[in-house]
Structure 1
Amino acid sequence: MNESGNPSQPVNVNEYDASHIQVLEGLEAVRRRPGMYIGSTGERGLHQMVYEVVTHAVNEHLAGHADTIDVTITADGRIRVADNGRGLPVEVRESTGMSAVERQLTELSFAPKPRTGYWVFGGINGLGLCVVNALSSRLTVEVHRDSHRWTQEYEKGIPISAFTRHEESSGHGTAIAFMPDADIFETTRYSFATLSQRLQELAFLNGGLAISLTDERPERPVRHQHLDGLHAYVAHLNPYPSSLVHSPAIGFTSENEEQTIFVQVAMQWNTRPPGEFRSFANSTRTHEGGTHEHGFRTALTAIINDHARRQHLISPDDEDITAEAVQQGLTAVVSVKLAHPVFEGCTRTRLGNPEANTYIQETVREHLAVWLDHHPNEAAAIIRHILNTSI
């Protein structure tokens, strides 16, 4: 059918040839289709820019090389993220004359290998720094590594200065400052509350990591550090002590022999239904759940029923306690870190790894059963609470 809609007229194939195919290369593709890389050009995408840079710093923490991340909203609206990790690699490839820093900031095809067994995956499969650079009107990178300070500046993803070595330095780490491009984003004004909530979440999920956020628009500093990790997270979600069924929260961690999956769980029942459940995979919130959630819920219901029957809190003739009843008033945080996470859907908020289901079931069955047996009074209170909610 031709443009007029008449199928009887022949089509001139010469009107459509290779010249009509547009190939977007490198950072041009990011600037033309930003939503494909950060989700949107609205507030969500604007804040995702920060999370992309923070993800690199958290990866350094997971590798055992950083314990502090400082995020600043400057008076002119820029974002600066500094960490005390090893610093981005600075060596220069002889064939191109390009430093590893410049490659990571400009090449979509350049994704560094994981520096630890688990990726944070808060962003774009290791391409986050490159995407942030492409979508910034101005970006400056400063690296302290190899006994010197190194810097380079970029404009809309293009270097406008050489990668330069400066004075000697005994420090180590990376600082990236960027201004989001007003020609791309619907707004360039960051929300202190939105950033603080996500950074606090990362501090909960990575116990011992100190993350500070300072707003210079006016100055408003906040520092998140939680040595108790998920226990502190559950306490944060359960702010009413009088409503708690038991205290403290139940918590346990486990890692498989191959060191390819690490599980953290914290949970606590309260009398304020329906409760709160949050799951994460490599520090990314899995709003749509996935295999790790399914494994946790399945094992939890089975263990509660088994314990209730062994302790004669329900009779052999009673029906099993339902999963819905077990979860009433339960506040729980489940976090898994995987060497090779598989996220489903374009929003990447559902975990698809089958091994996460299997391993978390094994972990919950082992650790929760032991906790219930060793805390008979608390266990009885939990079962009574669950039975009362099911009436």
Structure 2
Amino acid sequence: MVLPTDLVEAVRRRPAMYCGDVGEYGLHHLVYFLLDAVYEEARCGECGDVVLELGGDGSVALFSASRTVPAEGLVEVAKGAGFFGRSPKYGWGWDSMLVVSLGLSSRYQLDMWADGRQWRLLGEHGRPLGDVSEVTPTEPMPVSAGRGVRVHFVPDATIFEVLAFDRARLARRCNELAALAPGLRVCFVDLQRGERTLWHLPGGVAQWAQVLTEARHRLHTEPVAFDLAWDGLRVQCAFQWCEDKDSTLLSFANTVRTVRHGAHVNGVIQALRGALAKLSGTLRREFPWSRVSQGLMAIVAVSGPERQMAFAGPTKTLLAIAGLEEAIRKQLKAHLVETLRGHPVTPRLLARRLK
């Protein structure tokens, strides 16, 4: 499994172009790229388990119970005919992710398990050391699965200015992944500390909203949650109101945290304000968002093909999919009116309109 020489050289010559920068941001994106690939596999039903290990030697390893290259194709791949590409023959979507993560490593080890057998490739600076070899006896996978891939690498100290991974940052990313890909089991292991944390949120963003408000006094027992579809996209949102006045709104486009929100959040806010205005009988007057959001934990997540994720600007902090805001507003408002009519939290929310 060989990275084309010219591509490896291009990645190493201009690393910031591929991972953002050569500081902390770019370093962590080497891992994020792999987690993004896992998310796509999970979204398509091709992965149920992932294990991210943070080593004490500056290395990181990710195992995924994902599709693998067929054993009979390993020689062809190792000779450079492909690199886990999206070709019809292999259909494995990790190619560009691995090009960057392995290309910017000082050393790597790639293991694959399939059909009761294991294969391994060692490499340095994005290039393999020798050919793929079969490992005998077969080593156990990190989780019980019929197939899997493990990518273990050390970032190159001649490229990156920062080499220490932030444990809390990676753990938070794993938590988000488990919520955004409902049913995926995500395990984070800190080998230096001897700590292991498992996230499994089959309830998706609704269950995550519950987890995030466990220490707060909730105004209702179960989050108000919806799952909508529009133009090939899936929109999930959850609302949990609490007694205090602290408010949090988290939004995502696939695995990207949209810190400036955008069309998906605007549509949700308009739908919620419109639903409460209708329930209060004040359709001609806006329901103040500052009142609605008091004590609210809200999560909005949009998932779908990467080609549909349009952003305003290169930083991907603001989602700008044309038509999405209005589509969410129309669909969600009707659902909210039906759900909130008679809901125990509604009288508390409507009372805020009069303050």
Equivalent in the alignment of 1:233: 208
- Cα gap change, 1:89 to 1:130, in 2 (>3 Å): farther
Amino acid at match of 1:329: G
Aligned to 1:205: 180
My pick for the range that moved more, 351-360 or 191-200, is 351-360
- Which stretches in structure 2 are left out of the alignment for 5+ residues? 139-144
Amino acid at match of 2:290: E
Is residue 2:51 matched to residue 1:82? no
| 1:246 partner amino acid | H
Residue 131 of structure 1: CA displacement?
0.4
* Offset at residue 70 of structure 1 (A): 0.7
Change (3 A) 1:64 1:47: same
Displacement of 1:374: 4.5
Judge conservation of contact 1:134–1:156 (CA < 8 Å) in 2: yes
Q: 1:213 to 1:387 in 2, by over 3 A?
A: same
**Cα distance change, pair 89–295 in 1 and its aligned pair in 2 (3 A):** farther
* Residue among 324, 334, 337 paired with 1:366: 334
**In the TM superposition, what is the alpha-carbon distance from 1:245 to its structure 2 partner?**
2.8
Residues 287 and 154 (structure 1 numbering): CA distance in 2 closer, same or farther, change over 3 Å? same
With over 3 angstroms needed to count, the CA separation of the structure-2 counterparts of 1:101 and 1:345, relative to structure 1, is: farther
Per the alignment, residue 343 of structure 1 pairs with 311
Task: Say if 1:174 and 1:361 are closer, same or farther in 2 by CA, change over 3 A.
Answer: same
Work out whether residues 245 and 382 of structure 1, in 8 Å CA contact, stay in contact via their aligned partners in 2: no
For 1:357, give the aligned amino acid.
E
Shift of 1:163: 2.5
Aligned partner letter, 2:207: A
The Cα of 1:139 is off from its aligned counterpart by: 1.3
Where 2:341 maps in the other structure, the secondary structure is helix
2:44 and 2:211 map into 1 onto residues whose CA distance is: 27
In the alignment, the residues of structure 2 paired with residue 80 and residue 137 of structure 1 have an alpha-carbon distance, to the nearest angstrom, of: 14
2: CA distance, partners of 1:269 / 1:69? 32
Unaligned runs of 5+ in 1: 1-23, 120-124
CA distance in 2, matches of 1:371, 1:294: 20
Q: Which residue of 2 aligns with 1:252?
A: 226
Determine the C-alpha separation between the residues in 2 that align with 1:26 and 1:55: 21
TM-score of the superposed pair, with normalisation by structure 1: 0.79
Contact 1:88 1:173 in 2 (8 A): no
In structure 2, which of residues 73, 76, 101 is the aligned counterpart of residue 132 of structure 1? 101
Distance change >3 Å, CA 306–CA 89, structure 1 → 2:
farther
Contact 1:80 1:176 survives alignment (8 Å) = yes
Q: 1:102 to 1:82 in 2, by over 3 A?
A: farther
SS in 2 for 1:265: strand
Does structure 1 conserve the Cα–Cα contact (< 8 Å) formed by 2:78 and 2:131?
Answer: no
Q: Does 1:98 align with 2:77?
A: yes
1:1-391 matched pairs, under 5 angstroms: 25-88=6-69, 92=73, 97-99=76-78, 103-104=82-83, 127-166=96-135, 171-242=146-217, 244-256=218-230, 260-309=232-281, 319-339=285-305, 340-375=308-343, 377-384=344-351, 386-387=352-353, 391=355
Give SS of 1:353's match: coil
TM-score, normalising length from structure 2? 0.86
Separation (CA, whole Å) in 2 of partners of 1:275 and 1:180 = 38
TM superposition shift of 1:134:
0.8
CA 1:188–1:354 in 2, change beyond 3 Å: closer, same or farther? same
Give CA deviations for 1:23-53 in whole Å, capped at 9, x if unaligned.
x941222112211211121122211111111
Q: Percent identity?
A: 27
| AA of the residue aligned to 2:152 | A
Cα–Cα, structure 1 residues 268 and 115, in superposed 2: closer, same or farther, change >3 Å? farther
Aligned AA (1:325): R
SS in 2 for 1:306: helix
Q: For residue 227 of structure 1, report the CA deviation from its aligned partner.
A: 2.3
The 8 Å contact of residues 180 and 254 in structure 2, kept in 1 or not, is answered as no
For 1:28 and 1:179, how far apart are their aligned partners in 2?
A: 18
RMSD after superposition = 2.9
* Greater mean deviation of Cα atoms: 156-165 or 127-136: 156-165
> Deviations for 1:78-129, whole angstroms, at most 9, x for unmatched residues?
11111112224555499xx435998337xxxx5568979xx9xxxxx96221
1:151/1:323 Cα in 2 relative to 1: closer, same or farther (>3 Å)? same
Look at both structures and tell me which one has the larger radius of gyration over its CA atoms: 1
The 8 Å contact of residues 78 and 179 in structure 1, kept in 2 or not, is answered as yes
SS at 2:265's partner residue? helix
